[in-house]
Structure 1
Amino acid sequence: MEPVTHQQKNEAIAGFPFEGILVSENPYGSGHINDTFLLVFDLGDDEEVKVILQRMNKDVFADPEALMENIVGVTSYLRKKIEENGGDPDRETLNVIPAGDGKSYYKDSQGDYWRAYKFITDATSYDKVEKPEDFYQSAVAFGNFQCLLADYPAHELHETIKDFHNTKARFQAFKKAVEEDVMGRAASVKKEIDFVLQHEDVADYLCDLLEKKEIPLRVTHNDTKLNNIMIDDKTGKGICVIDLDTVMPGLAIHDFGDSIRFGASTAAEDEQDLSKVSCSMELFELYTRGFIEGCAGKLTDREIELLPMGAKTMTFECGMRFLTDYLQGDTYFKIHREGHNLDRCRTQFKLVEDMENKWYTMNEIVKKLKDN
């Protein structure tokens, strides 16, 4: 997408009925997809109000109107549940500010879509785990997200990115990329290709269980990283799940698994020294405890038993996607060096192997926490 111009931003600001006098507007956050700004308005009498304004990336999200329909549906439902539980709906869920025409978005003269949220004060989102407690708090928050939305009709949500965690479909896309070999890279990564082909059962497993209705379709977040949780500055507790662009129908086990893939790894996602890469059982146990606690009995016994499989599946899927992109010429994931996607793929596959070596331990941890 073209960079946001000052004129375009001013048009967007005028498209919303914000109160007060605008005193500052600055880029905000570390997200790579949407353009995000923090606006501060002076209300007089030493009072101010903060607002988040975002231009949605229509290259990534082809149907911003459907996306906003999802977000309004889910946040309105969360607000009602939080009020019923005696919580603070202004801080515990995102609150969409409607545009001047009452819609949940503003479409500017360039055809770009904008949205606005109330800013959540006295809370911070962290890009990396600074202390284990933060990882635990994110687990409780993502579990609570599942708990609050357990009765939401997931099938009514739009799929904002088609087949996002359809591992079966990802496997077929991978095989096609190997076959076409547009960059002539397949011969040099035979070991990695063989690893994927040997794990076809992992690609099929959870998809097959969903098809057989052995596990339920749920509202899922699909980007369960620590920085999508707001942690209260005073209490240190996770209070709000943010970045709801990829909220769609899916598996709770996938949400759990993506957190483990990213947060319980002992190395960076693109670590080149694979001897540093492993899945920490301490962090796995910490997150599992928090997630089960947050879900508060809303997951089925079968879903809880399958949590290790969720971790393995999501790690495998991610590695397979990095390898697919490498074979196709690095067109999806941004790279910062030659072979970057290959390094990323290798860390994921090393994590999968490590999980397989610790499979008994992972399952025993889940069994112990489930029975407590």
Structure 2
Amino acid sequence: MTDPAAVAARFALPGRVVAVEPLGRGLINDTWRLVTTEARGVLQRLNGAVFPRPDRIMANLRIVSRHLAAAPIRLPQPIPPVDGGDLVVADGHAWRLLEHLPGITLTALRDLHDAAALGRSLGKLHRGLADLDPGRLHDTLPGFHEMAHYLSQFDRQLTDGPVDAETASLIEFIEARRARALALEETGSPRRVIHGDPKLDNVLFDPRSRTPLAWIDPDTLKPGLWLWDVGDCVRSACGAGGRFRLERALALLGSWWREVRPVLTRAERDWVPEAVWRLPFELGVRFLIDHLAGDRYFKVNYRGENLERARGQFALTAAIERQGGELAREWRRLSAAPGR
């Protein structure tokens, strides 16, 4: 593997490189914290199998960053290579350097205050993006979050041979929910600019006030549905160990709603509870597909880890189903005023 420090020296970050340390727990890209005598940065080697056009990722980031320049929310800015452009190519991999923003990431919400703060921050991001034409952005991941795309992949994997009993039970779980899972993309919700991966550990918080400061991991900025974003945010922040924390989900959704209400359509509003259900189901399908395909997409530490991840997401899906009636009733109460 190319030495990250050698790649780091090719970017226009002032000072001499003194440390390059692994950073984060990302399942797709490889990431390091870069420290020089004068500055810091976040160095990433992009996964070319997932992102075959990294130039388009960087173009989207520049468009969105300029659009949000006056908004009360931040994204990390790219730091160019010394010879220009956005990326350094080394040993067939594309590398980029982003500014290192202050703040901490959370592994879990502490209370309803944290949940409300997270929802408010996602709402501010969406409000800032509401008047940006999604047609200006590249679709860097065709099929991303499209359930028909994943179910097609799933069906192809099932033709490769028999599966064990545990995998078979997860397949049955998917088949029982196939029709429901396809509905979200048929709601008439408008295409908008989305973050695409607004999970809890992609937000930087102030360590004292626990106020969100910035959204990071901008690889999935693209046209899509805000329903995907809000569903995935709730999934990551309000579900763990097969348990769904309804009160935290409602605190998150309520503060998100208060930010986006002036720009949200009625279809988007009405389908929020279904998005909360659909996103963990979708991720479970994706984990199972990758397990059946031999772990080609998500990083794993051992064979079977993607199967365990799928099981966990389906347990969360089932927990949301058990509380689905209350979730829908409380959401109707929160969002009683129409969108537009």
- Normalised by the length of structure 1, the TM-score is 0.82
The answer to whether 1:154 aligns with 2:146 is no
Change in CA separation of 1:100 and 1:255 when aligned onto 2, cut-off 3 Å: same
The answer to whether 1:142 aligns with 2:137 is no
Match of 1:207 among 160, 177, 185: 185
Aligned counterpart, 1:287: 252
Q: Provide the rounded CA distance (Å) in 1 between the counterparts of 2:240 and 2:33.
A: 34
The answer to whether 1:216 aligns with 2:190 is yes
* CA deviations over 1:42-75 (Å, ceiling 9, x no partner): 3xxxxx4322222222232111111111111111
Aligned counterpart, 1:254: 228
Aligned counterpart, 1:240: 214
**Matched residue type, 2:94:** Y
Match of 1:181 among 135, 141, 160: 160
Structure 1 gaps, min length 5:
43-47, 268-276
Does the aligned pair in 1 maintain the 2:28–2:297 contact within 8 Å?
no
* CA deviations over 1:214-261 (Å, ceiling 9, x no partner): 210011122121111111234321011110011111111111111222
1:98-137 matched pairs, under 5 angstroms: 98-108=80-90, 110-121=91-102, 123-137=103-117
Shift of 1:96: 1.5
The answer to whether 1:357 aligns with 2:331 is no
Change in CA separation of 1:100 and 1:136 when aligned onto 2, cut-off 3 Å: same
Does the aligned pair in 2 maintain the 1:305–1:363 contact within 8 Å?
no
The answer to whether 1:5 aligns with 2:7 is no
Q: Provide the rounded CA distance (Å) in 1 between the counterparts of 2:36 and 2:301.
A: 38
Change in CA separation of 1:353 and 1:30 when aligned onto 2, cut-off 3 Å: closer
Aligned counterpart, 2:309: 344
The answer to whether 1:66 aligns with 2:56 is yes
Match of 1:27 among 18, 22, 26: 22
Shift of 1:189: 4.0
Aligned counterpart, 2:32: 37
**Matched residue type, 1:30:** R
Does the aligned pair in 2 maintain the 1:136–1:290 contact within 8 Å?
yes
Shift of 1:336: 4.5
**Matched residue type, 2:163:** R
Say which SS state the counterpart of residue 21 (structure 2) adopts.
strand
Output the aligned Cα RMSD: 2.4
Q: Provide the rounded CA distance (Å) in 2 between the counterparts of 1:140 and 1:281.
A: 17
Structure 2 gaps, min length 5:
none
- Normalised by the length of structure 2, the TM-score is 0.89
Does the aligned pair in 1 maintain the 2:54–2:94 contact within 8 Å?
yes
The answer to whether 1:230 aligns with 2:171 is no
Q: Provide the rounded CA distance (Å) in 2 between the counterparts of 1:278 and 1:37.
A: 32
Change in CA separation of 1:191 and 1:19 when aligned onto 2, cut-off 3 Å: closer
Does the aligned pair in 2 maintain the 1:140–1:295 contact within 8 Å?
no
In the alignment of these two chains, the number of paired residues is 337
Shift of 1:148: 0.4
Aligned counterpart, 1:45: none
Aligned counterpart, 2:79: 97
Q: Which moved more, 1:138-147 or 1:239-248?
A: 138-147
Say which SS state the counterpart of residue 13 (structure 2) adopts.
coil
Does the aligned pair in 2 maintain the 1:181–1:328 contact within 8 Å?
no
Change in CA separation of 1:55 and 1:191 when aligned onto 2, cut-off 3 Å: closer
Q: Provide the rounded CA distance (Å) in 2 between the counterparts of 1:281 and 1:192.
A: 24
Q: Provide the rounded CA distance (Å) in 2 between the counterparts of 1:15 and 1:96.
A: 14
